[in-house]
Structure 1
Amino acid sequence: MFDILMYLFENYIHSEAEVMVDHDVLTDELTRAGFHQDEIYKALSWLEKLANLQNTDAYNFLTKRPQQSVRIYTSQETTFLDTECRGFLMFLENVNVLDFATREMVIDRVLELDTKDFNIDDLKWVVLMVLFNVPGKESAYSQMEDLIFDECEGPLH
Structure 2
Amino acid sequence: MFDILVYLFENYYTPESCPSADVLAKRLAAAGFEHTDIDEALGWLVGLAETTEQCVGLSRSPGRGTRVYAESEQQFLGAEPIGFITFLEATGALSPVLREIVIDRAMATSGSPMTLQKIKIIALMVLWSQEAEVDHLILEELLRDDEYRLLH
* TM-score range for the pair, normalised by the shorter chain length: 0.7 to 0.9
**Residue from 103, 109, 116 that aligns with 1:113:** 109
TM-score normalized with structure 2 length = 0.78
Q: Percent identity, aligned pairs only?
A: 35
- The answer for unaligned runs of 5 or more in structure 2 is 145-152
The Cα shift of 1:144 comes to 2.6
C-alpha separation between the residues in 2 aligned to 1:43 and 1:118?
16
C-alpha separation between the residues in 2 aligned to 1:59 and 1:80?
26
User: What is the 5 A alignment of 1:9-48?
Assistant: 9-13=9-13, 19-48=17-46
Provide, for residues 100-137 of structure 1, a one-character-per-residue CA deviation record: whole Å limited to 9, x for no partner: 100001001111112335311221121111111115x2
TM-score normalized with structure 1 length = 0.76
Greater relative contact order (Cα < 8 A, sep 6+):
2
Matched, 1:124 2:120: yes
Contact preservation (8 Å) 2:78, 2:113: no
The higher radius of gyration belongs to 1
Provide, for residues 8-56 of structure 1, a one-character-per-residue CA deviation record: whole Å limited to 9, x for no partner: 222334xx7x833232222122222332223212211211221232321
C-alpha separation between the residues in 2 aligned to 1:90 and 1:22?
34
Contact preservation (8 Å) 1:85, 1:119: yes
Runs ≥4 in structure 1, deviation > 6 angstroms?
none
RMSD of aligned residue pairs (Cα, Å): 2.5
